Amino acid sequence: MSAGLTLKLDIRERMAGSISYLIAAFLLIGVAGPLLAILGKSLLAQSGEFTGLSNFIEITNVAGFWSAVGNSLWVSALTTAIVLPLAYVFAAALSRSAMPGKAVFRYLALIPLLAPSLLPGISLVYLFGNQGLIKSWLPLGVSIYGPLGIVLGEVFYTFPHALMILLTALAIADTRLYEAATSLGAGRVRQWFTVTLPAVRYGLISAAFVVFTLVMTDFGVPKLIGGQFNVLAVEAYKQVIGQQNFPKGAVIGLLLLFPALLSFVVDYFVQKKQKALLTARAQPLVAKPSVLRDAAAFLCCCTISLWLLVMLGVAVAASLITLWPYNLSLTLAHFDFEQMDGGGWLAYFNSLKLAFWTAICGVLLVFIGAYLNEKLKVAPLALAILRVLAMLPMAVPGLVLGLGYVFFFNHPQNPMHSLYGTMGLLVLCTVTHFYTTAHLTATTALKQMDTEFEAVAASLKVPFWTTFSRVTVPVCLPAILDIARYYFVSAMTTVSAVIFLYTPDTVLSSLAVLNMDDAGDTAAAAAMATLIVMTSALVCLLFAIASALLGKRSQAWRR
């Protein structure tokens, strides 16, 4: 090999390695730095002196702390107990029945993903609040402002997360197992316990931990409708915003990190134990028509979908009613956000800006990082950092990450201190917060491509960026669009991760919902939440059309 060619190859490897180190540095700054900052803050007094574990001891003696812990555990456990069977029945109806309208039901079930977690709280106020539409349905003496409201709101918020996991768990099954069970005389109930349950138990465990963690760390629903029923996420907010006690806020943030980390660890070991259920000789299960089963499945899906639509519809109706319940005429006055506290139209356009830049930056960082990790295998140290830190955001609640950003980027000795309070920091936080899911999506798409592409390109002395732009990107376009869509919608609806980071100039629409509700403008808050849902739905529709069109190109490339 000539010296010139060796130099060219060396330059290409160095370039790929440099990019790997840049992405690793991004994750170190965006994930590791804030987490270390929140850990360090928890060991300091308000004056800045090192106090060790005294903050952890003091917080346990604060009035109401243990009740907040108990309340958080109780509503999390109860919500999980409600969501899991509902999501399982819905997933089973979609994957194990021959009922009509499956595609419609699947889309309806994902509606909560398009809305900020504050929307169900607003809907519940209009349904069961002091002037609620069906307040009389509640037993005498029972109020929606408390654990009941939190649980109902969290069920709406977490349902699609559990559903997606269980759909995946139920999607694969070997029909031979069911035929063997039937030939041995096992009825449907016994088949469920001996065949179905063992196959989906890992999915059920994963879904349970995801729902429990989401409820434990959610800030939006309990802040809006929790009343005097205190939970840990709201307590952390009170310590930081209300009392300016940053060390104690950091301590509570670390406590919120424990259930998320436990969920992450358990899910990791569960996935390791899970074995392949579909061998090369397996026959995929295809649901055969059954009048009774399909009718029951259709009825269950209709009931759950109707509830989801009611929760969304009430918020939309509230945004269009002049003054509930005294003047029920329709109006668009609540969309005149400039007349309301909360940020006005600036908040909405800031959210569009955040979503746009998050989608662009997120796609570039995630897909290039996944490509370097899966295909080139250069800079082993950088790729090791990338692999570890790419999975860490999944285990970090948004509220904890946001607190860490306050302590890390607001530190006067941090050279990146100038980022604090800017839209750039909100983009960095949002990209980091949702990095894991996007990374797994990109990795899955790249694993489906033969590694021979890179090997052949290297043998022909073709630079890796040429292979990347001309082969990898066209083939993976549907996955790239999925990542962009995920980032855009997540940025439009995020609350907890950015609640501590915005300024009057960078206020977001999801936060404006909270601010307007705090100011008593509940109808305007409903209008802003409705606008977020409509924007998210429209963007998803556009991405779906683009994905369908580009999917044909991708298939042509694969052939």
The predicted-structure confidence for 227-266, as pLDDT tens digits, reads as follows 888 888 888 888 877 777 778 888 888 888 887 777 777 7
Q: Which of 360, 557, 377 is nearest to 464 (CA)?
A: 377
pLDDT category of residue 5 using cuts at 50, 70 and 90: very low
Q: Residue 310 burial by CB count (10 A; 0-12/13-18/19+): exposed, middle or buried?
A: middle
Mean pLDDT, rounded, for 320-343:
84
CA 111, 115, 120, 125 torsion-angle sign: negative
Give the other-Cβ count within 10 Å of 187's Cβ.
9
Name the residue among 216, 105, 244 with its Cα closest to residue 158.
Answer: 216
Q: Which residue has the higher pLDDT, 42 or 355?
A: 355
- 213 in Cβ contact with 397 (< 8 Å): yes
Place of tokens 């946001």: 402
Give the mean model confidence (pLDDT) for residues 474-494: 89
pLDDT attached to residue 553: 56
Does the pLDDT of residue 107 top 80, yes or no? yes
Contacts of 525 (CB under 8 A, 6+ apart): 118, 122, 342, 512, 513, 514, 516, 517
Computed from CA positions of residues 210, 215, 217, 219, in that sequence, does the dihedral angle turn out positive or negative? positive
Q: Retrieve residue 213's tokens.
A: 């963690």
* pLDDT at 82 (0 to 100): 96
pLDDT for the residue numbered 429: 94
Q: Which of 117-131, 163-177, 516-530 has the lowest mean pLDDT?
A: 163-177
pLDDT band at residue 286 under the 50/70/90 scheme: low
What average pLDDT score do residues 551-557 get? 54
Q: What is the pTM of this model?
A: 0.86
Whether the ω angle into residue 222 lies within 30 degrees of 0, i.e. cis, is no
Most confident option among 76-90, 279-293, 315-329, 447-461: 76-90
Give the pair of three-digit tokens for residue 446.
């790249």
CA-nearest of 399, 386, 411, 396 to 40 is 411
CA distance 134 to 146: 17
The DSSP string of 93-148 is: HHHS---S-HHHHHHHHTGGGGS-TTHHHHHHHHHHSTT-TTGGGSPTT--STTHH
Sign of torsion, CA 16 21 25 28? positive
Distance of CA 115 to the CA centre of its chain: 11
Which is higher by pLDDT, 333 or 468?
A: 333
Nearest to 427 by CA among 503, 357, 512, 498: 357
Which residue spans within 286-330 are E strands per DSSP? 321-323, 327-330
Task: Look up residue 481 and give its two tokens.
Answer: 């669009």
What is the rounded radius of gyration, in angstroms, for the C-alpha atoms of the chain?
A: 25
The stretch 514-518 carries a mean pLDDT of 88
- Residue count of the chain: 559
Q: What is the pLDDT of residues 160-171, one digit of tens each?
A: 988 988 887 776
DSSP secondary structure letter of residue 185: T
In contact, 97 and 515? CB cutoff 8 Å: no
Instruction: Show the beta-strand stretches assigned E in 305-401.
Output: 321-323, 327-330
**Closest of 159, 137, 516, 459 to residue 334, by C-alpha:** 516
Residue 379 or residue 219, greater confidence:
219
Task: Collect all residues with Cβ–Cβ distance below 8 Å to 276 and sequence separation of at least 6.
Answer: none
Give the pLDDT band of residue 357 (cuts 50, 70, 90). Answer: very high
Per-residue pLDDT tens over the stretch 287-297: 677 888 889 99
For the cut 60, the answer to whether the pLDDT of residue 174 exceeds it is no
Give the separation between CA 350 and CA 358, rounded to whole angstroms: 12
Residue at token pair 């069911």? 178
Does pLDDT of 447 surpass 70?
Answer: yes
| 334: exposed, middle or buried (Cβ count in 10 Å: 0-12, 13-18, 19+) | buried
pLDDT higher than threshold 80 for residue 183:
no
Percent of the chain topping pLDDT 90? 28
DSSP-derived secondary structure for 433-444:
HTHHHHHHHHHH
Amino acid 203: pLDDT? 78
Question: Average pLDDT in the 488-498 region?
Answer: 91
Residue 554 above 60 pLDDT? Answer: no
For 8-17, 28-37, 420-429, 539-548, which range has the lowest pLDDT when averaged over its residues? Answer: 8-17
C-alpha dihedral over 39, 40, 41, 45, to 10 degrees?
A: 130
Token pair of 338, please? 């400039």
By the 8 A CB rule, do 94 and 168 touch? Answer: no
Confidence of residue 468 (pLDDT cuts 50, 70, 90): confident
Tell me the helix, strand and coil percentages in the chain, rounded to 5.
Answer: 75, 0, 20
What is the Cα–Cα distance from 384 to 382, expressed in whole angstroms? 5
Comparing 15-19, 354-358, 535-539, which segment has the lowest mean pLDDT? 15-19
What is the Cα 487 distance to its own chain's centre? 10
DSSP β-bridge partners for residue 1: none
Band of residue 455 on the pLDDT scale cut at 50, 70, 90: low
pLDDT at residue 90 in the model: 94
Do the beta carbons of residue 212 and residue 203 sit within 8 Å?
Answer: no
Positive/negative CA dihedral, 349, 398, 146, 306: positive
**Contact criterion met (CB below 8 Å) for 133 and 213:** no
Backbone angles phi, psi at 243, to 5 degrees: -110, -5
Judge whether residue 549 has pLDDT over 50: yes
- Phi first, then psi, for residue 336 (nearest 5°) are -85, 75
Q: Mean pLDDT, the chain, as a whole number?
A: 82
Bigger pLDDT: 343 vs 29: 29
Range 457-481 average pLDDT: 74
How confident is residue 546, by pLDDT bands cut at 50, 70 and 90? confident
pLDDT at residue 533 in the model: 94
Write down the residue that tokens 């009611």 correspond to: 310
Where is pLDDT greater, at 5 or 302?
A: 302
pLDDT at 124: 92
